[in-house]
Amino acid sequence: MIFIIGLLLFNTTTVYAKVFTLQDVNNEFKNSSAAALLSLESKIVEDNVLNIYSEDLSIMSFNYHDNYLEYSNSEAITKENVDKEMLKSIVIVGVLETILKLNGYDENNMVLVDDIPEEELSTKFDEYGIEIKTEYYEFNEDTEDSHFHLSGDAIREVKISLDSDKITNFINKYGQKVEKEDDLIKMLVPKLEVKNITANSITLIPSLNLESISTDKEVMCSIYRASNKDDNYELIKESIDCNSQEGFIDENLQSDKTYYYKAAVVGGTNYSDILEVTTLNNKKIDDSIKKKEIDNPNTGKTIPIMIIGGITFIALLISLKKYNFISKL
């Protein structure tokens, strides 16, 4: 599951078996990296409901049942509410981080592996205390000059145990120790966005949130490209600042062709979401060049000419008139 990748943990203390309270979760969530990243707040709005919100926007509400938190959502995913679905993934990371901290883990030198089988997350709550069920969504929209594509996993059902024994089982199964800062950096997942598109080039901007490891190092990213989503990806930019403002220009591309991109920290294997981008259509660009009109100095009439080749046409016309090969207009 993508939204769990990069959660940092460190076993600092021994916690004997107990069940945490809703108030425990509320107090600790405020200190999570997810809360800091999105300015999230948490509030117990009823005796058994924890509400997560940003400013005035309510993002998720968890019901508390003795020893676990539960969330469910059956609302249809649309282009209008998909942004909120993306926020929910970050909230889940924050809640998981909160539960793990309560159980004696902290950000420093352990991460969750990035290949947790989805069937284990959705079916083994009794063993690992985590249950997350998602639904795939995809949106495509074509305009005259571009192609829009967005896909991901909407969170449908969540159960997170507050039983420390189950949390420990989860970490023992999926925790991975990391000893050095460089190893921590390689576990991070960059984001890749498009800055500009022409008929023959695409400008890509990588970005990386470094708050979770508090490093002063300049972290570099690699960018990869494929002609089909499931093909092997070719390395097209070996090293670029992961928070470059100028980005990388992929040039000499074909007009009106779709390309697929992804990025990773140099030396890392946790790739960004795949970006689907289509170059502009050269023919449509040529067809959009409008005719201009210029004044004829002799009569005040106007002569329509194309932008391309216009000067040559006028010069020829003046020459013909000068030598009386044509009469005055």
What string of H, E and C letters represents the secondary structure of 113-178? Answer: CCCCCHHHHHHCHHHHCEEEEEEEEEEEEECCCCEEEEEEEEEEEEEEECEHHHHHHHHHHHEEEC
Structure tokens given for 106? 């902290």
- CB-based contact 60:71 (threshold 8 Å): yes
Q: Are strands 175-177 and 105-112 parallel, antiparallel or unpaired?
A: antiparallel
All structural domains of the chain with their residue ranges? 2-179, 187-283, 289-322
Closest C-alpha to 26, from 56, 49, 9: 49
9 vs 233, residue with greater confidence: 233
Range in 106-115, 206-215, 250-259 the model is least confident about: 106-115
E strand or H helix that includes residue 53: strand 49-54
Range in 101-105, 131-135, 173-177, 272-276 the model is least confident about: 173-177
Residue type at 179 in one-letter notation: E
| 187 SS3 class | coil
pLDDT single digits (tens) 6-38: 444 444 444 455 889 999 999 999 888 888 888
Give percent of the chain with pLDDT exceeding 70: 73
Q: Given this structure, which CATH class describes domain 187-283? A: mainly beta
pLDDT single digits (tens) 281-290: 877 766 655 4
Largest interatomic CA distance in the chain: 106
Describe the strand order of the beta sheet including 8-11 as a list of residue ranges: 8-11, 105-112, 175-177
pLDDT of residue 216: 74
Closest C-alpha to 186, from 221, 216, 236: 221
pLDDT band at 258; cut points 50, 70, 90:
very high
Q: Tell me the CA distances in angstroms from 97 to 27, 37, 201, one per residue in order.
A: 13, 13, 40
Give percent of the chain with pLDDT exceeding 90: 30
Instruction: Please provide the distance, in angstroms rounded to a whole number, between the alpha carbons at the two ends of the chain.
Output: 74
Range in 49-63, 82-96, 220-234, 309-323 the model is least confident about: 309-323
Residue located via tokens 């189950």: 166
236 vs 325, residue with greater confidence: 236
Range in 21-25, 246-250, 324-328 the model is least confident about: 324-328
Q: Tell me the CA distances in angstroms from 71 to 88, 158, 169, 200, one per residue in order.
A: 11, 5, 22, 46
Number of helical H runs and strand E runs in the chain: 9, 18
Tell me how long the chain is.
329
E strand or H helix that includes residue 259: strand 258-265
Range in 85-89, 293-297, 321-325 the model is least confident about: 321-325
Closest C-alpha to 237, from 262, 214, 212: 262
Phi, psi of 54 (to 5 degrees): -130, 115
Range in 51-60, 82-91, 312-321 the model is least confident about: 312-321
pLDDT single digits (tens) 184-232: 787 788 999 999 999 999 999 999 888 766 677 789 999 999 999 988 9
pLDDT of residue 202: 95
- Looking at residues 62-81, what average pLDDT do you find? 88
Q: Tell me the CA distances in angstroms from 258 to 201, 231, 251, one per residue in order.
A: 11, 13, 14
Decide if pLDDT at 294 tops 90: no
Q: How many whole angstroms separate alpha carbon 91 and alpha carbon 53?
A: 9
Decide if pLDDT at 319 tops 80: no
Mean residue pLDDT across the chain: 77
- Looking at residues 130-153, what average pLDDT do you find? 80
Range in 168-172, 205-209, 272-276, 315-319 the model is least confident about: 315-319
Q: How many whole angstroms separate alpha carbon 110 and alpha carbon 91?
A: 20
